[in-house]
Amino acid sequence: MKNTDKENSQHTNCQSIEPLLYLKADELSIDEKTSLQHHLMQCQSCNKSHEEIQKLFDQTKFEPYTDQHDHLAGQIEKDIKLLLSPNSKPYQLFILTTNVKRLLVAASVLFFLTFSVEQVSTISRISKLEKRISQSTMASELVRQKGELLVINHFFSWDDIKSTAFSNLKSRYPEGISLISNSNKSWESWQKKLTPIEKRGLFIELVKKSSIKFPLIKMGELGRLPMNDSNF
C-alpha cells in the first residue's frame, strides 16, 4: 500500500515537473532549478527524458546569424525602394500588370455572364419556337384530316387573348366565356349560339394561344368547322 502511494506521488511529481524538462538552463528560476535537480536525482525516467531533450536542443540550436549581410541588405533595400518609388519602371510595371490582370479578370467575368444569359435566352427562344411549330403542325394536320374544331381542355386566362375578334366575342357573350372556363358541358349548349364565323374566330384564338402555352389540345368540343370557309 505504501509502495503504491509512493508511486502515485512520484507520478504526480513527474507530471508537474515535465514542463521544466523542456526549458533550457537559463530559462529556469532558482526555485525551478532546485526542484528539477532534486526530482532528477530521484527519478531515472525523467532524468533520461531530460537528457534526450537537452541533446535535441543542442542538435537543433539555431545560432544567431552574425555574418556580414550588408551587401545583401543593401541589395534588398535597393529592390524594395525601386518598387516603392512611384516613378520607377518596376513599380509602374507592377501597377500596370496588376491593373491589366484586374481588367482581364473583370472582362472574363463579364463575357462569361453575357454569354450565359444569351445562351439561356436563346435556348428558351428555340424551345418555344420548336413547341409552337410542332403544335401548329399538329393542329393544321388534325384540322386537315378530320375537319374538327380543336379546343383547349384547360381554359386558362381569357384576359390574355387580346385580339379584337375575341374582345368582341367576350363583350357579346360574357356568360358564355365564363361557362367555358368552368365546364365543358355548358360549352356544348352555349356554342350553339355562335355563328360559324364566331366559332372560327374563337377557334383561331384558342389554337394560337395553345401553340404558345398549352400542348394539350382536345378535339371535338367545339363541333365541326366548315372547312371550305376562306377565312380559315
Measured from the CB atom, is 5 or 26 closer to another protein?
A: 26
User: Of 58, 54, 3, 37, which Cα lies nearest the Cα of 17?
Assistant: 37
| Residue 22 lies near another protein (rule: CB under 8 A) | yes
d(CA 190, CA 182): 13
d(CA 153, CA 15): 86
Rounded to a whole number of angstroms, the minimum distance from the CB of residue 61 to another protein is 8
Among 14, 23, 43, 165, binds another protein (CB under 8 A): 23
Here the cell at position 38 is 532534486
Radius of gyration of the chain (CA): 47
User: Of 215, 216, 168, which Cα lies nearest the Cα of 194?
Assistant: 168
Residue type, 63: E
Question: Could you count the other beta carbons within 10 Å of the beta carbon of residue 9?
Answer: 10
User: Of 210, 221, 121, which Cα lies nearest the Cα of 160?
Assistant: 210
Measured from the CB atom, is 97 or 124 closer to another protein?
A: 97
Rounded to a whole number of angstroms, the minimum distance from the CB of residue 12 to another protein is 18
Measured from the CB atom, is 22 or 111 closer to another protein?
A: 22
Rounded to a whole number of angstroms, the minimum distance from the CB of residue 129 to another protein is 53
Residue type, 218: K
x/- map, 45-84, another protein, by CB under 8 A: --------x--x--xx-xxxx-x-x--xx-xxx-xxx-xx
DSSP 159: G
Measured from the CB atom, is 83 or 227 closer to another protein?
A: 83
Number of residues forming the site for another protein (CB under 8 A): 28
Rounded to a whole number of angstroms, the minimum distance from the CB of residue 98 to another protein is 10
Among 26, 31, 159, 175, binds another protein (CB under 8 A): 26
Rounded to a whole number of angstroms, the minimum distance from the CB of residue 103 to another protein is 19
d(CA 75, CA 214): 77
Rounded to a whole number of angstroms, the minimum distance from the CB of residue 81 to another protein is 6
d(CA 88, CA 92): 6
User: Would you tell me which residues interact with another protein (CB under 8 A)?
Assistant: 18-19, 22-23, 26-27, 53, 56, 59-60, 62-65, 67, 69, 72-73, 75-77, 79-81, 83-84, 86, 94
